Amino acid sequence: MAFSLGSIFKNVSSSLGKSAEGSVLGIDIGASSAKIVQLRTSKGAAILETYGEIALGPYAGQPIGKAVKLPPEKIAEAITDVMREANVTARSGGLSIPFSSSLVSVITLPNVDPEQLKRMIPIEARKYIPIPVSEVSLDWFVIPRDEGEGSAFDRIEPQSVLEAKGREVLLVAIHNNALQGYQTVAATAGLSIDFYEIEIFSAVRSSVGHGIAPIVVVDIGAATTKIYVVERGVVRLSHLITMGGQQITEHLARSLDWEFEKAERVKRERGLVESTAYSPDENDRIKTSLLSTLERLLSEVNRVVLSYGQRYNKNVSRVVLTGGGASLPGLTEVAKQELAVEVEIANPFQRTETPAFLENVLREIGPGFSVAVGVALRKLKT
């Protein structure tokens, strides 16, 4: 194992003393854009000091909104630019790792002491990780047992059976290559990274509370959409679909015979809401195109919602939409029709103190910042 990832799940309390004063950064390097958030704590509250987002497409000669794969030096350049533009003053914080560079599974291990667990996990991991264990860094988190009320699984397996079987452990593996790349980015941009965290956990921290019923978090990114089922704040299931906002734009560009740039702009500004800036025919075609991609995406979400409900005999209570794609104007109404449960658009800045005059802007752009805000919150919160 090349890196110690002990900090990924380190109880936040252990990092509290270190950074309770001063400002921290949450950095999210997505496929299409990088986001940065600077928070400070004061009397237990997280205060938003500054935030910024920069499209990565242009650093690869591609339009805004395109998912690109950049070398670490180019990413560092973009991060440096956004830090300058947003007047970021802090130089340390956390960085998110994309879901696609990680593997997450819930495994069951016997009831052994922590030392034994430490020895068992790399051996057990071989069964779950389809690549050599030497190529990944491993971390794990023993899922707390529910007191009294029972876990997500106990309707099919009574507590006594679970006791006999052992402990549920959330196993996380990150490709060493990916980590190395991020270390180069940080060093080049002059950042000191205190911890790395898989984006799943960051998005969940900033987007949902600790409700009892299962909640589905959907992160609509550029090239991919991530779906997580969360129960009592614990991620039970995660799912990646290779479809996202970029595909919505591409479809729109094809349908209306526009350049990608124009389709991207119209999607963000007009979205599903009719506008007098377009002819009735154009309005129709825009809507039809957006809906056709969106409906496919939402039907995948529905599949997860329904199968989780059936498998564990529990109803998912609501779906929280996040990621840049969740800022599509008019999305809520369509999602409510397509999904059989309550729908909400994530508002991660709600967990921070912000100036009143920014409230509307932050609500609009909020979904795209879920991961960055979640990373920064981890450094500050209990």
Ligand X SMILES: Nc1ncnc2c1ncn2[C@@H]1O[C@H](COP(=O)(O)OP(=O)(O)OP(=O)(O)O)[C@@H](O)[C@H]1O
Interaction site with ligand X (CB under 6 A): 30-33, 65, 98, 221-224, 244-246, 249, 264, 267-268, 271, 323-325, 327-328, 368
> CB-wise, 179 or 220, nearer to Mg ion?
220
Return the one option of ligand X, Mg ion, none that residue 57 interacts with (CB less than 5 to 8 A, by type). Answer: none
Our CB check for Mg ion shows the closer of 30 and 271 to be 30
Can you give the three-state secondary structure of the chain, one letter per residue?
CCCCCCCCCCCHHHHHHHHCCCEEEEEEECCCEEEEEEEEEECCEEEEEEEEEEECHHHHCCCCCCCCCCCHHHHHHHHHHHHHHCCCCCCEEEEEECHHHEEEEEEEECCCCHHHHHHHHHHHHHHHCCCCHHHEEEEEEECCCCCCCCCCCCCCCCHHHHHHHCEEEEEEEEEHHHHHHHHHHHHHHCCEEEEEEEHHHHHHHHHCCCCCCCEEEEEECCCCEEEEEEECCEEEEEEEECCCHHHHHHHHHHHHCCCHHHHHHHHHHCCCCCCCCCCHHHHHHHHHHHHHHHHHHHHHHHHHHHHHHHHHCCCCCEEEEECHHHHCCCHHHHHHHHCCCEEEECCHHHHCECCHHHHHHHHHHHHHHHHHHHHHHHHHCC
Shortest reach from residue 221's CB to Mg ion, in Å: 4
CA dist 78 and 80 (Å) reads 5
Q: How far is the CB of 365 from Mg ion (least distance, A)?
A: 13
271 binds, among ligand X, Mg ion, none (CB under 5 to 8 A by kind): ligand X
Restricted to residues 83-142, the positions that interact with Mg ion (CB under 5 A) are none
Closest CB to ligand X among residues 117, 324: 324
* Residues 183-222 close enough to bind Mg ion by CB under 5 A: 221
> By Cβ distance, which residue is nearest to Mg ion?
30
Q: From the CB of 39, what's the least distance to ligand X, in Å?
A: 19
The listed partner (ligand X, Mg ion, none) that binds 94, CB under 5 to 8 Å by sort, is none
Nearer to ligand X, 56 or 304 (CB): 56
Map residues 219-258 to x or -, x wherever contact with Mg ion holds by CB under 5 A. --x-------------------------------------
Output 125 or 172, the one with its CB closest to Mg ion: 172
Q: Which does 52 bind (CB under 5 to 8 A by kind): ligand X, Mg ion, none?
A: none
Binds Mg ion (CB under 5 A): choice among 26, 30, 94, 367: 30
Residue 126 Cβ, how far from ligand X at the closest point, in Å? 28
Q: What's the token pair of residue 153? A: 């699984």
Whichever of 62 and 283 has its CB closer to Mg ion, that residue is 62
> In the complex with ligand X, which residue's Cβ is closer, 72 or 245?
245
Which of Mg ion, ligand X, none does 204 bind, CB closer than 5 to 8 A by kind?
Answer: none
Q: Are strands 136-142 and 92-97 parallel, antiparallel or unpaired?
A: unpaired
CB closer to ligand X, 31 vs 103? 31
Contacts with Mg ion by CB under 5 A: the residue count is 2
82 binds, among ligand X, Mg ion, none (CB under 5 to 8 A by kind): none
The answer to whether 53 touches 82, Cβ cutoff 8 Å, is yes
Contact set with Mg ion (CB under 5 A): 30, 221
